[in-house]
Amino acid sequence: MQPTPIHGGPALAEGLPFLLMLLSIALFPMFAPRFWHRHMGKVALFWSLASLVPLSITEGTVVALLGAWQAILGEYFPFVALLVAMYSVGGGILLEGGPWGTPRGNTVLMTIAIICGAIIGPVAVSMVLIHPLLRANAHRRDKVHLVVFFIVLVCNVSGVTTPLGNPPLYIGLLQGVPFDWPLRMLLLPGLVLTIPLLALFWWFDRRSAAKDPVPAARRRLHFRGIGNVALLALVFPVGPVQMPGAMVGGGQFSGAMLFLAVAAVAGRKTPLAIHQANMFTWEPMVEVAKLFAGIFVTIVPVLHMLEAGTAGPLAPLLRLTANAAGQPVPAVYFWFAGILSAFLDNAPTYLLFFRLAGGDPARLTGEWAPTLMAMSAGAVCFGALTYIGNAPNMMVRGVAAHRGVRMPGFFGYMAMACGLLLPGFVLLTVLFFL
């Protein structure tokens, strides 16, 4: 799990392809949607190749190509294999009927999803419960707020208490943080953030529902897909977590192949009626796979800038994480780890800040516990600020768009998420990290 730089002395200019990759994701769907839909894979490939140019100049073409190959095989492949498995399994679980479709019922379903996400991690829960939420609200004209709140609360904030299926907190577990530490230390901050947002969701959904048609008569709750729940048990516990520069091992490769096998079994054994009821198609997953391939390659130089620490180009910012006595400043860790996790991979970001704080789990769970709380909460919760901050964000967005929900663009979603979350982040800072 030790990140190894592919070359020394990273420069800020090396992060330009990653920035342009993000701008492509944000701007092309707004200004050239048809081009983007047809050629997003080619755009991702272009910026991936562009990110190899600086390394080719400094270290040679062979080293650059090997670095790209490692990013794809060692990091991207296990990651996307897990997403494919979750997507396929979730698309084969059908939850019909029940009280959903009204403000009270939607709030109940959102609460159930948050509780499940806090126990088994947000990825699996997101892929299973987004379908009944959208299906039950098919009669609603405005469904955007349902998806935005779902991404914020279920895909991200719900995972603050568990390392299961949650890469940054799982990294902490591997570094020696006790399994139950996030639950004991982050449950209260999670509730402080969640309860007001859940109340706001109910209020907003109630106002929206008043303008919509009356929902159909409530049907008895009906569940299908028990076999897929059993398959879910094979993949939800931790999933693959791989750091930049670490060669893929046999265990991780075999795990990724297991995930693909689970996806194939789920896709083949799921009855067509369930897929039709869930409006299941592989198009959202294909889009996520294309975009994250480009992100995983272009992000490597940026992560190496962070890895260089106070000897790299981001030194002026990273020096702010400690006070004059050399002790970490929790509030700075919360905001720095969070903002970077909103745009970068939150697992290596967490690890780099963990090491920046000394890397001693005994001290970080003891006298410096507020610092570990801060970086943990930041790495998990800030992922909700952008579509790329966490893989389930983009997957849920894709599912919703396929169902006809006119989701906001990159900046539109970011503005909505910031409006919902930033007041809560300020409150967490005042209550726990100052």
Q: Kindly report, residue by residue over 311-346, the tens digit of the pLDDT.
A: 778 788 888 888 888 788 999 999 999 998 998 878
Residue carrying the six token digits 């492949």 = 77
Q: What angle do CA 170, 176, 178 make, to 5 degrees?
A: 75
C-beta separation of 201 from 153 below 8 A = yes
Q: Looking at the predicted structure, is the pLDDT value of residue 213 above 80?
A: no
Per-residue confidence (pLDDT) for residue 9, from 0 to 100:
52
Question: What is the rounded distance in angstroms from the CA atom of residue 181 to the CA atom of residue 38?
Answer: 46
**Would you state the pLDDT for residue 252?**
66
pLDDT of 7 higher than 70: no
pLDDT of 243 reads: 45
Specify the long-range contacts of residues 309-313, CB closer than 8 Å, at least 24 apart.
309/352, 309/356, 312/9, 312/10, 313/10, 313/11, 313/12
Q: Give whichever of 55-69, 71-85, 236-250 has the largest mean pLDDT.
A: 71-85
3-class SS at 324?
coil
Of 78-87, 237-246, 339-348, which range is least confident? 237-246
Residue 241 main-chain phi, psi, to 5 deg:
-130, 120
pLDDT at res. 277 = 86
To the nearest whole percent, how much of the chain has pLDDT over 70?
93
> What value does the mean pLDDT take over residues 396-419?
93
Tell me the C-alpha distance between 251 and 167, whole Å. 17
* Share of the chain residues as helix, strand and coil, in percent rounded to the nearest 5: 75, 0, 25
d(Cα 301, Cα 6) in Å, to the nearest integer? 9
Q: How confident is the model at residue 259 (pLDDT cuts 50, 70, 90)?
A: confident
Q: Who's near 320: CB < 8 A, 6+ residues apart?
A: 329, 332, 336
Considering only 51-65, 94-108, 272-286, 400-414, which range has the smallest mean pLDDT? 51-65
pLDDT at 182: 93
pLDDT of residue 430: 96
Query: What mean pLDDT do residues 115-144 have?
Result: 89
Q: Which DSSP string do the residues of 353-421 spell out, in sequence order? A: HHHHTT--HHHHTTTTHHHHHHHHHHHHHGGGGSGGGSHHHHHHHHHHHHTT-----HHHHHHHHHHHH
C-alpha span between 84 and 292 (Å, rounded)? 13
pLDDT band at 245 (very low <50, low <70, confident <90, very high): very low
CA distances 197 to 205, 215, 242, 259, Å, are 12, 24, 32, 34
Asked if pLDDT for residue 69 goes beyond 70, the answer is yes
More confident residue, 198 or 53: 198
Asked whether the predicted pLDDT for residue 247 surpasses 50, the reply is no
How confident is the model at residue 217, as a pLDDT? 67
224-248 mean pLDDT? 64
Give the residue, 9 or 228, on which the prediction is more confident.
228
pLDDT surpasses 70 at 237? no
Task: Band the pLDDT of 216: cuts 50, 70, 90.
Answer: low
pLDDT at 359: 84
Pairing of β 222-224 and β 94-96: antiparallel
Cβ neighbours, 10 Å, residue 374:
29
Q: Which of 11-20, 23-32, 126-135, 412-421 has the lowest mean pLDDT?
A: 11-20
